Amino acid sequence: MLVMHRRLYRADLPPTVGAGGTVDFVNFDGQEYSPDIETRETPGTPGILQAFRAALGSHPSIELMGGRRLARGLPIFSLNMRVGASWLHPRFVTTLLNDLFGIQTRAGCSCAAPYGHRLLHIDTRTSDRLHQTIRRGNVGLKPGWTRVTFHFLHTDRQVEFIADAIRFVADHGVKLLPVYRFDVRTGAWHHCDAAAGQPSAGLTEALRGSAVVDVDDDALLGPLFDGYLAEARRLAAETARRHAGAELKTTEKDLVPFVYV
């Protein structure tokens, strides 16, 4: 980390290393560098991988899966959330991220079940028991993780919002278990008040929307994101109060245990 007084910085000179992100405007004849010193001296693509891993890796309930080498990594993160000696079900995590924040993630083993055995420390005996459990039709007990992927067009504010949402689920997701039902046959989680049947998501539904938000305008998105987080906190607190006596149960503890109510 470099610390220096602003008055010592020569703004009349080019930045130490010129690259994307250091300029406000470029044409054939020249360029206009950013007047903000930190922006001016931060060339190239931001370290989203490192920033996101640092933001979540220190959370006591979040376990990031896979290796720690980031030099050639992609912005794809797989994680699980611990509740005591058990876990939040990965598909419950994806459901909350969708229902509360509109964030689309995936849950499962990412077509990498043998690797998943190593990541989740599943020995041969436990694997055989899982196999038999799934053959009996209880596919919902199959272990895995939640996977979130970032796009290079995501703004810093959008990345921050996604990280905040994931931290919220890690901190408060267990409070919302009483209002969701777990289908052990499929692994799906449904809100108790959800309408029966599958929602339609065709072209007709897409064209019904009337509100249009510029997804690149952080000034517009910031209050929207803050509103989502505030409403999620309110719902978690209200659910915890209404279901204060709800008993937290755990699936088979000698497999990969998940909590439910």
pLDDT digits (tens, 9 = 90+) for 135-191: 899 999 999 999 999 888 888 889 899 999 999 999 999 999 999 999 999 999 999
Domains of the chain, residue spans? 48-260
Q: What's the pLDDT at 214? A: 56
Rounded Cα gap, residues 171 and 218, in angstroms: 26
pLDDT band at 210 (very low <50, low <70, confident <90, very high): low
Q: What's the pLDDT at 31? A: 79
Average pLDDT, the chain: 85
CA 74, distance to chain mean position in Å, is 15
CA 120, distance to chain mean position in Å, is 19
The residue-averaged pLDDT of 247-257 equals 89
With a CB cutoff of 8 Å and minimum separation 6, the contacts of 92 are 173, 177, 180, 182, 189, 258
Rounded Cα gap, residues 197 and 91, in angstroms: 18
Assess contact for 55 and 170: CB atoms under 8 A.
no
The answer on pLDDT for 6 being more than 60 is yes
The residue-averaged pLDDT of 238-247 equals 94
Rounded Cα gap, residues 86 and 259, in angstroms: 6
With a CB cutoff of 8 Å and minimum separation 6, the contacts of 161 are 101, 221, 225, 228, 229
Rounded Cα gap, residues 147 and 64, in angstroms: 10
Rounded Cα gap, residues 112 and 166, in angstroms: 23
Position with higher pLDDT, 211 vs 10: 10
Rounded to 5°, angle at Cα 55 from 52 and 61: 115
Q: What's the pLDDT at 197? A: 63
Position with higher pLDDT, 181 vs 31: 181
With a CB cutoff of 8 Å and minimum separation 6, the contacts of 42 are 21, 22
Q: What's the pLDDT at 48? A: 62
Q: What's the pLDDT at 9? A: 84
Share of the chain above pLDDT 90, in %: 46
Query: pLDDT tens digit string along 93-118?
Result: 999 999 999 999 999 988 888 888 99
Query: pLDDT tens digit string along 40-84?
Result: 887 766 666 666 666 677 789 999 887 666 556 678 889 999 999
Q: What's the pLDDT at 163? A: 93
Looking up tokens 């020249």 gives 30
CATH of domain 48-260: 3.90.1150.10
Q: What's the pLDDT at 211? A: 58
